[in-house]
Amino acid sequence: MIIVAATQNKHKIEEISAITKLFGMEIISRKDAGVPDFEVEEDGETFEENSEKKARAIMEACGKITIADDSGLMVDALGGAPGVYSARYAGEDGNDAKNNVKLLAVLSDVPMEQRTAKFVSVITMVYPDGTKLVARGEVRGHIMFEEKGENGFGYDPLFVPEGFRKTFAELTSEEKNHISHRANALRELERLLQERNAVEAAE
């Protein structure tokens, strides 16, 4: 099954591809699908809204099944922030480093027992006929007091998943891809695809 990736984030494409190939899905880039280079404004209030908006815009541009991911970090002590603003937490001109610096500063006086958080990933697959599949995945953990690890991206150097003593950035890509929020969302997507296929086979 050929699917077009709406995201232009190479890290996300690598993570999604590493997992989807296990499910028999081949991801191709927007460029390879002949989609013009344009930005989709992520102005939704939820991960679900942003994910669908991106997927639908690219699907309409290429006419092929499209998959889009919207993900972020939700910190309990911050009321769920940065949430949908995770990528631009430090401002529109921010980056991973600036976002991490800001998060550490905001949580500087918060003790470890209150530094609980979760990564959320919502993956939406939109078909040319307009139907969609929406899969949400989460992984809980806590935020460290300093960055650790060289792998991953985003808030990975600060996030330690439950049951582990290492941050996402200290885990290998294989380890992370097995337990991550994106992996959980893709497993849910696989379940939804199996349901869809079963319904189509019965018709």
The domain ranges of the chain are 2-202
What CATH number labels 2-202?
A: 3.90.950.10
Distance of CA 136 to CAs 126, 139, 149, Å? 15, 11, 26
Please report, as a single letter, which amino acid is at residue 50: N
**Which residues are annotated as catalytic?**
70
pTM, entire model: 0.89
Tokens (6 digits) for 203: 């018709």
**Tens place of pLDDT for every residue, the chain, 203 residues?**
889 998 877 777 887 887 778 777 889 988 888 888 888 888 899 999 999 999 999 999 999 999 999 999 999 999 999 999 999 999 877 789 999 999 999 999 999 999 999 999 999 999 999 899 999 999 999 999 999 999 988 999 999 999 999 999 999 988 998 999 999 998 898 888 888 877 777 77
**Two structure tokens written together for 41:** 């404004």
